[in-house]
């Protein structure tokens, strides 16, 4: 299945300026996802990271991967996610290999998903022009969202 931004926003709890997935090109529930983020100079973090040499912060690349992973995990769940959130519980084997700059298409890949009870673990890779920008093993837990 594919997802446009309207469909993504129905699943992800994030909103501007923290939505870091623009489109899902392929999602096979309980298997893998292929999505992307178009990185533009209009991103608010480029004002300070770094003036005159804009580079997407590594932690935001990992967040983009986690959001793609959340979409993958949600696609395989039965029932509503209302009142629930996926929260990071771990990042292992994190590596940053290439700078991500304005104009890049950040390709997001998550696969090898394992789900046990409320824990989800998967392998994640972000690429630009086919070259690895970052990679990690992501672990998240599905829990109750805080009540206002």
Number of Cβ within 10 Å of residue 21's Cβ equals 27
Half-sphere exposure of 129 (CA within 13 A, CB side): 7
What CA–CA distance (Å, rounded) separates 141 from 132? 26
Q: Which residues are CB-neighbours of 115 under 8 A, at least 6 positions away?
A: 30, 73, 76
Known catalytic residue at 32: no
Please tell me which residue in 23, 32, 49, 84 is annotated as part of the active site. Answer: 49
Catalytic sites, residue numbers: 49
């Amino acid at each position: 299945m594919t997802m446009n931004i309207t469909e993504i926003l129905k699943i992800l709890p994030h909103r501007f300026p923290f939505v870091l997935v623009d489109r899902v090109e392929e999602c096979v529930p309980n298997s893998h996802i292929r999505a992307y983020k178009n990185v533009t100079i209009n991103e608010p973090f480029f004002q300070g990271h770094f003036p005159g040499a804009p580079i997407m912060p590594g932690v935001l690349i990992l967040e983009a991967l986690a959001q793609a992973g959340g979409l993958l995990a949600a696609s395989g769940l039965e029932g509503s996610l209302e009142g629930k959130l996926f929260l990071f519980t771990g990042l292992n084997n994190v590596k940053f290999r290439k700078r991500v700059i304005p104009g890049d298409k950040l390709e997001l890949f998550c696969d090898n998903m394992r789900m046990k009870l409320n824990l989800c673990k998967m392998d994640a890779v972000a690429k630009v022009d086919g070259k690895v920008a970052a990679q990690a093993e992501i672990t998240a837990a599905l829990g109750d969202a805080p009540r206002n």
